[in-house]
Amino acid sequence: MNALIESGTDMAPHNLDAETAVLAGLMLHNAELANVQDWLAEQDFYSHQHRVIYSAIVALAGSNKPADGVTVGEWIYANVTDDADGLAMLAINLACEAYTAANVVSYAEVIVEHSHKRQFIDTCQKALQAAYSRRGHSAEELAAHMAARLSAIAPVRTTGLRPYREVMKRFSDELLARHRDGKPIGMPTPWADVNKAIGGLQDGQVIVLAARSNMGKSLLGFQLARFTGLRGDAVAVFSMEMNDTDVAARDVAALGEVPLQWIIGQDLSESQEDSDGYWARATVAISEMMGASILLDDDPQLSSPQIVARAKRAHARKPLRLVVLDHLHEMTLPGKQDEALERGQALRDLKGLAKFLKCPVVVLAQLNRAGAEAKRPEVKHIRGSGGIEEVADVILFVHRPDVYNPNDRPGLVEVIVGKGRNIQTGTVVALRNQYQYQRAVDWDGPTYEFNEAPAEPKRPTRQLAPRLGSRRVRQGEDE
């Protein structure tokens, strides 16, 4: 049996005995291919000859033909030009030497493990070459690229199909915890009706929070991060629009109920008594925020691989329970393809991050400038909506009617469910605007019912009928 070749010698890690045993076993018992084909690839074999023979076995099985020494040899003669005679003879010899297929899966795991070690060595060598080169990318970019390459080295075997009873057992446990113990489905948000509408933030999901400018999407994103971090769960915030002290100012304003304009020094007309009160509350808020489990990165030019690498490094120190990114349309793109395609790929990278961390990733996004004007936004209004709609698990919109008409439901912030699995799309939740304190709170006013109004130019398309009751804003007719 070939032993593992130590790093530093002329040969990379491999095990030829395991490779020959797998090929022999597969030709002896073709049905064993189904147990390894989805995770054992041609490139996992160290020997080029063994790669060709494995390709022949897979191709024959795909054509519903038997794969033995003779048929594999015939396939090689028909499809391979270099050293066909030697490869065909090797296949026949392997088939003749086969005596059991019992350990095919175990030997295949050995092959893939060595393959992953070779991938690791190759990645490190390329990283060293790039680092020694005077041209190219910065050290941080190289580290981010290397981290992305290393994270692609998956476990030896994928989960694959499993008995449905296992899935149902796990669902039964979740159902009991939800109804008997009152355990929420996902991570809660600061807003009760949002939790009801979407079931909280689910682990492994990407939640896109989109809005036009001046609607408060960043405010809600930072409020969500603050709420989670103050509960003791680790949060990573990537702020590419605002610097770190601007984010801190908003948090202190929200937590201390201090007007943001006073904090940033734009409103100094208050009385001495008011100023003393603001100072006292701001001091308490600063002290509380120092204890929040929040990590902040305000680098303005981050790419998706850099974000993924930094989040994984933070996760290795303390498991993250939430990632907030402000925002998708500020991210650096490679610039080699259409922007919408690259934006969608960036979101796929973040989706992979969410699954790796097993936590929600909230991504803020911009709408097209000309999209919908004063109407409620829709998925098609998101910049680069095609790729984003395809990847996002949940899409929420933030809309404020009083931005366009100060007399139209002043103080109302609508959170609209644009997409979601197991969620009623189109649901509209009402929040109360407390933007002077950089936050939104649960709606405490009347419920608005939207009725279709006569279509007249430059007039509202809905009439208001205030009614006391639930805080939920009922969905109206499409505008």
pLDDT greater than 70 at residue 8: no
CA distance 323 to 357: 9
Which amino acid type is present at position 127? A
Q: What is the pLDDT of residue 76?
A: 95
| 57 CB-near residues (< 8 Å, 6+ apart) | 23, 26, 27, 30, 33, 67, 72
Q: What is the pLDDT of residue 85?
A: 92
Q: What are phi and psi of 15, to 5 degrees?
A: -145, 95
pLDDT greater than 60 at residue 462: no
Our CA angle for 443, 448, 449, nearest 5°, is: 150
Q: What is the pLDDT of residue 92?
A: 92
Q: What is the pLDDT of residue 169?
A: 87
Answer whether 1-161 and 188-445 agree in fold. no
Q: What is the pLDDT of residue 328?
A: 87
CA distance 333 to 278: 42
Extents of the domains making up the chain: 1-161, 188-445
Average pLDDT of span 422-427: 85
- Tell me the per-residue pLDDT of 160-208, one tens digit each, with 9 for 90 and over: 667 888 878 888 887 887 777 666 668 899 999 898 889 889 999 999 9
DSSP 3-state assignment of 361? strand
Q: What is the pLDDT of residue 469?
A: 37
Our CA angle for 99, 101, 103, nearest 5°, is: 115
- Tell me the per-residue pLDDT of 381-392, one tens digit each, with 9 for 90 and over: 888 777 788 888
pLDDT greater than 90 at residue 227: yes
Q: What is the pLDDT of residue 371?
A: 54
Min mean pLDDT across 159-168, 223-232, 399-408 is at 159-168
Residue 209: beta bridge partners? 364, 396
Q: What is the pLDDT of residue 14?
A: 94
For the ranges 50-59, 137-146, 296-305, 329-338, the maximum mean pLDDT occurs at: 50-59
211 vs 140 pLDDT, higher one: 211
Q: What is the pLDDT of residue 154?
A: 64
90 vs 370 pLDDT, higher one: 90
Average pLDDT of span 445-450: 62
Q: In CATH, which superfamily holds the domain spanning 1-161?
A: DNAb Helicase; Chain A (1.10.860.10)
Q: What is the pLDDT of residue 225?
A: 94
Cis amide bond preceding 327, omega within 30: yes
pLDDT greater than 80 at residue 467: no
Residue whose C-alpha is closest to residue 109's, from 242, 178, 15, 30: 15
CB-CB contact of 164 with 171 (8 Å):
no
pLDDT greater than 70 at residue 229: yes
Our CA angle for 75, 78, 83, nearest 5°, is: 90
Q: What is the pLDDT of residue 101?
A: 79
State the CATH architecture for 188-445: 3-Layer(aba) Sandwich (3.40)
103 φ/ψ sector (left φ>0, alpha ψ -120 to 50, else beta):
alpha
pLDDT greater than 70 at residue 136: no
Q: Residue 270 — pLDDT band, cuts 50, 70, 90?
A: low
Average pLDDT of span 32-37: 86
Average pLDDT of span 350-371: 86
| 228 CB-near residues (< 8 Å, 6+ apart) | 187, 235, 321, 322
Average pLDDT of span 97-122: 89
The two structure tokens encoding residue 451: 């009725």
Q: What is the pLDDT of residue 74?
A: 94
pTM tops 0.75: no
Q: What is the pLDDT of residue 58?
A: 92
Q: What are phi and psi of 211, to 5 degrees?
A: -165, 165
Q: What is the pLDDT of residue 449?
A: 56
Min mean pLDDT across 6-20, 214-228, 272-286, 419-433 is at 6-20
Q: What is the pLDDT of residue 470?
A: 38
Q: Residue 460 — pLDDT band, cuts 50, 70, 90?
A: very low
Q: Residue 268 — pLDDT band, cuts 50, 70, 90?
A: low
Average pLDDT of span 115-128: 89
37 vs 137 pLDDT, higher one: 37
Percent of the chain exceeding pLDDT 70 equals 84
CA distance 255 to 225: 13
The two structure tokens encoding residue 278: 């603001």
